[in-house]
Amino acid sequence: MAIQESGEMYLETIYVLSQKKADVRAVDVADYMNFSKPSVSRAMGLLRDEGLLKKDTGNILKLTEAGEILAKRIYERHTVLTTLFINLGVDEKTAAEDACRIEHYISDKTFEAVKRHMLEHTA
């Protein structure tokens, strides 16, 4: 399933927020991402249409199984790439920003090679 970068960012945000609090609402996503509520609402609708997100009667956002798998994959890329860049001497803020951009475009093959390299060369 091909999903746009913005959709991946929303999924990752919902995943990160769900690790911090039990109930995640669209307003939480808007606040975290510094986006308008209408923009977030539209994106949530698109993610629901793609079968990646559910919203219950209390407006609580829940990732579907497919949504959670994708969100975890994106988040793993973000954390691994951020760590790699920090290990290379990049400051934390820049490392996280660069990882955020790259995580959406790096191929699975290259990402797996990066993970293998880090495992082999990290104490």
**Domain of 76: which CATH number?**
1.10.60.10
Is the pLDDT at 75 greater than 90? The verdict is yes
What number is the average pLDDT over the span 83-93? 94
Terminal-residue alpha carbon distance, the chain: 36
84 and 36 inside one domain: no
**DSSP per-residue codes, 20-59:** H-S-B-HHHHHHHHT--HHHHHHHHHHHHHTTSEEE-TT-
What number is the average pLDDT over the span 76-94? 94
Is the pLDDT at 122 greater than 80? The verdict is no
9 and 64 inside one domain: yes
80 and 65 inside one domain: no
* pLDDT tens profile 21-36: 989 999 999 999 999 9
Is the pLDDT at 80 greater than 90? The verdict is yes
The amino acid occupying position 57 is T
- Whole-model pTM: value is 0.86
